[in-house]
Amino acid sequence: MAILGVEGFSALPRHCMQLCAGFFAFAVLANLARDLLPRRLARLVPLPMAMAVPFLVGASFAVDMCVGSLVVFAWHRLDGKKAALLVPAVASGLICGDGIWTFPSSLLALAKVKPPICMKFTPGS
Is residue 10 one of the residues assigned to a domain?
no
Is residue 59 one of the residues assigned to a domain?
yes
For the chain, what is the domain count?
A: 1
Regions of the chain with pLDDT less than 50: none
- Please give the residue range of the domain that contains residue 91: 50-111
- Of 64, 65, 60, the C-alpha closest to 50 is 65
pTM of the predicted model as reported, rounded to 2 decimal places = 0.51
Per-residue confidence (pLDDT) for residue 118, from 0 to 100:
63
Contact 26, 48 (CB under 8 A): yes
Per-residue confidence (pLDDT) for residue 18, from 0 to 100:
93
Per-residue confidence (pLDDT) for residue 119, from 0 to 100:
59
CA distances from 10 to 7, 34, 68, 91, 93 (A): 7, 35, 41, 43, 44
Per-residue confidence (pLDDT) for residue 19, from 0 to 100:
93
Is residue 37 one of the residues assigned to a domain?
no
